[in-house]
Amino acid sequence: MDHQIIALVVFIAAYAFFILFPNRRSLTAMSAVVLLLLFGILDPLEAFKEGVNWNVMGIFVGMLVLAEAFMASRFPAYLAERIVNHAPNTAFAILFICAMTSFLSAFVENVATVLIVAPVALSLAKKLKINPVNMMIAIAISSNLQGCATLIGDPPSMLLGGFAKMTFMDFFFYHGKPGIFFAVQLGAVTSVIYLYFVFRGHKEKTEIIAVETVQSWIPTVLLVLLIVALAASSFFDKGFSFLAGAICMAFAFVTLIWQRVNHKIPFWENLKKLDWDTSFFLLGVFIIVESLTQTGWIARISEALSQQVGGNLFLGYALLVLMSIVVSGFVDNVPYLAAMLPVALQMSEKMNFHPALFMFGLLIGASLGGNLTPIGASANIVACGILKKEGHPVSFRQFMKISVPFTFIAVLPAAALVWFFWS
């Protein structure tokens, strides 16, 4: 059978299984890799050497270790309690919690952020005898908002950084123009205004009895130092080839040693807690997408999209953003973005335009589009799982009543600002 056909069949089958069996996504991804290698679509050495972006893998795994220690330090929960206690009423307390969730998710993986904040939100809901469903939905979608604002916020940002050779500082200023960070902040402002209208009826005064104490300030200090180190690395590794991943792994090693010395926790115990499912999923997706590139499918897709939009740059940009929102509402944004980044680059080349416009628009649509449905992002799935465990199952309708307006209110201003600066 033709290699092109095999690669496409494996790709489609893998995506179908990603949707149907989200809890088996790493197994699906690695099974697809095995099939591609067995059929000779890719050379094994080339697949793992050229197909996988090891710099991105280093950033992701390193951040997992540090985020786990940061969460265990209880500093985020301690901060959330203080915010709630100083809020004038419940509506503002919820807004402050969502804002803190949004801020944390720019530097900590989204699922970890939800797990950090959820106990505080549930405690507030029980104390005031209010239903926690809307509050937890708001926290989940807020965590997805800022994930694409920085290089280390979420895997899609890391994918963009690896693909476009973008450094940590490039997310703030890229080629002398404002980067994606400022577009996301505009979306954050408009979405907070929307959330105020959702919760404006809660006028109760809030106060949570302080129970959280910071176990250690070391993880917080390490996280701040990591951010500074990544910003500095931008001046030395302009091709985004290895340094950012190496720095994250070095900080992860220091964190593991600190946990071993201070808490007597063996390395193996800490490593077992990490999200290896997502790590192997990400690894597999890199190779699956590489098979599409090698067999010419990426070039075909970009050619078809370019013909659809012709020379109309705005139509091409709007189509890419809208398609990303809709698809990411039902399909994991990691494989979608990995497949579409090469398409966006080739479209920009065919239209003779700077690729930042399409790539930033693609990232905004794919990251925030995950907010559309309860299965569109891992953070949403986790939040709904927590609510179900607490006796509050969430329907698609309940979730989307809040999430759909939130998504478009956040995406449209952000995408408009990217268009303003890069068109």
Interval 38-84: pLDDT, tens: 888 888 887 887 777 787 778 778 877 887 787 778 777 777 777 77
Check residue 417 and give its pLDDT.
Answer: 93
Lowest mean pLDDT among 21-30, 78-87, 154-163, 204-213: 204-213
Q: Which pLDDT belongs to residue 122?
A: 77
In whole angstroms, give the CA distance from residue 54 to residue 282.
11
Helix (H, G, I), strand (E, B) or coil at 178: strand
Average pLDDT over residues 376-388: 78
Question: Among residues 170, 284, 299, which one has the least CA distance to residue 235?
Answer: 170
Residue 173 has φ and ψ, to the nearest 5°, of: -135, 125
Taking alpha carbons only, the member of 72, 112, 80 closest to residue 98 is 80
- For residues 340-363, average pLDDT: 84
Q: What is the pLDDT of residues 232-282, one digit of tens each?
A: 776 676 665 677 788 888 988 888 888 888 877 777 777 777 777 777 877
Phi, psi of 335 (to 5 degrees): -65, -35
Spans of all domains in the chain: 3-422
Spatial CA neighbour of 60 closest among 52, 50, 49: 52
Terminal CA-CA length for the chain = 43
pLDDT band, residue 332 (cuts 50/70/90): low
Q: How confident is the model at residue 419 (pLDDT cuts 50, 70, 90)?
A: very high
CA-nearest of 287, 335, 341 to 48 is: 287
Cβ atoms 259, 270 nearer than 8 A: yes
- Beta-carbon neighbour count of residue 138 at 10 Å? 25
Is pLDDT larger for residue 410 or for residue 389? 410
Q: What is the pLDDT of residue 338?
A: 78
What mean pLDDT do residues 287-294 have?
A: 80
Tokens of 343: 């398409």
Quick one: what percent of the chain has pLDDT higher than 90? 8
Residues 231, 235, 239, 242, CA torsion sign: negative
pTM given for the model? 0.74
